[in-house]
Amino acid sequence: MQASNLDNRDKAWSGRFSEPMSELLKRYNASVGFDKRLAEFDIQGSLAHAKMLNKVGVLSNDDLAAIERGMAEILADIREGRFDWSVDLEDVHLNIEKRLTDKVGDAGKRLHTGRSRNDQVATDIRLYVRDAIDQIVPLIRAVQTSLVDLAEQNADTVMPGFTHLQVAQPVTFGHHLLAYFEMLERDAERFTDARRRVNRMPLGSAALAGTSYPIERAYTAELLGFEQVSRNSLDAVSDRDFAIEFTAAASLVMMHLSRLSEELILWMSPRFGFIDIADRFCTGSSIMPQKKNPDVAELARGKSGRVFGHLMGLLTLMKGQPLTYNKDNQEDKEPLFDTVDTLTITLSIYADMMRGITVKKEAMRAAALQGFATATDLADYLVKRGLPFRDAHETVARAVRFAEQKGCDLADLSLAELQAFHASIEQDVFAVLTLEGSLNSRNHIGGTAPAQVRAAVVEARRLLGL
């Protein structure tokens, strides 16, 4: 029994077992291959915990100094790629603790006083997610800035607005781009709001019930920059709502970027020909020399499903767990880490790619002249002359059918032809039927008139702090 126990000597729980862990279970159980990403946050949390233990008299000044010295060396080794991660030690926490103990002796063994890996990992993940949010929000702002710059350049650029992917009414390209600015503004708000719930410290909850040591959680929270401490130890060690909320917010960003991706793909198609994307963001074909493929947009559209899957995975992971911590929660990290990586690189490349878009204004204008985009303007014209809207709608529908049979736009019909549908139509109708007339008539907050687009750009820059 003694010999068998020696095979477990590096385990934090070795005293309980009479035979060594199987080699298969070692591989199945180990998380160090991916959770080593938490190393710097783990060290950060450990140093704050050590300072708190010293403050309350549980850890001596000499032990604290030794821990701080050892952790500084370990951190340097990790950053420089010299740290040897061991699967036998299961996870990031035990790897670092073992190395610390090797360096400073018993002081390293005293570090874990008053805490558990349960509250330790919950703290590490919150520090990680908080840091990720602090990096992601500026990336969202960078994409928004690119959108605003392009929108300002195209405040007067006419394009067809669509419903059901059919030509609906004229809009400006600047107005269209600013719709995505608004989506991303909500995304930034969501992450900022979620950060408040992430920024609550579970450390001090220990395994599940708290600890009998005279800890000062508020002091530890202050050292780590947490705004609050958790109010219930059972919830604190088992809660992963914050990771799910983060991934949900990330899913919404990816959904918005996927919608934009779909439009960029369509607009770049020769069937639309509205834009061109800079060569550095496209690829070619191995067989068709003429091809220029919008791979960034296609990849972003595809990667949105990857992030959605992570959200569903985390929800499924948590749905059947009784209180408190369960080993299932080891599976929370890989989807969370991949979500951060996917969102970060997608936002980064979009901020750059949107600056590499060439707008083909004449093609947009030509498309806006198709599909009777000013039909609603003619209906509004008739309403202003006393016709009930439903009657005006019917009248214009008949005029559209006539123009369609004739093979021309409403604006190409003669005054006499238009008056055949309603006698109140006069010469001034042609100003209404122009693309510019349609745009300028929608001169109100949120409208597509160029003046409103420029005003929206000013407001967007104010929101961005530019």
Any idea which residues carry the catalytic annotation?
164, 285
Query: 3-class DSSP state for residue 5?
Result: helix
Query: 3-class DSSP state for residue 159?
Result: strand
Per the structure block, which two tokens stand in for 279? 């060569």
Per the structure block, which two tokens stand in for 183? 């989506």
Separation CA 316–CA 384 (nearest Å): 56
CA-based nearest residue to 186, from 96, 236, 253, 122: 253
Contact 457, 447 (CB under 8 A): no
Q: Quick one: CA torsion of 258, 262, 264, 267, rounded to 10 degrees?
A: -170
Half-sphere exposure of 124 (CA within 13 A, CB side): 26
In angstroms and rounded to an integer, the radius of gyration of the C-alpha atoms of the chain is 31
Separation CA 420–CA 425 (nearest Å): 9
Amino acid letter at 175?
A: H
Separation CA 95–CA 32 (nearest Å): 8
Contact 122, 236 (CB under 8 A): yes
Tokens 């549908």 appear where? 421
Q: How many CB atoms lie within 10 A of CB 370?
A: 10
CA-based nearest residue to 125, from 51, 58, 38: 38
Angle, helices 39-55 vs 117-153, to 10°: value is 130
Separation CA 460–CA 466 (nearest Å): 9
Separation CA 366–CA 409 (nearest Å): 12
Separation CA 405–CA 437 (nearest Å): 25
Q: Quick one: CA torsion of 254, 255, 257, 258, rounded to 10 degrees?
A: 110
Contact 98, 105 (CB under 8 A): no
Q: How many residues are present in the chain? A: 466
Tokens 């407001």 appear where? 459
Write the DSSP symbol of residue 169: E
Separation CA 116–CA 113 (nearest Å): 8
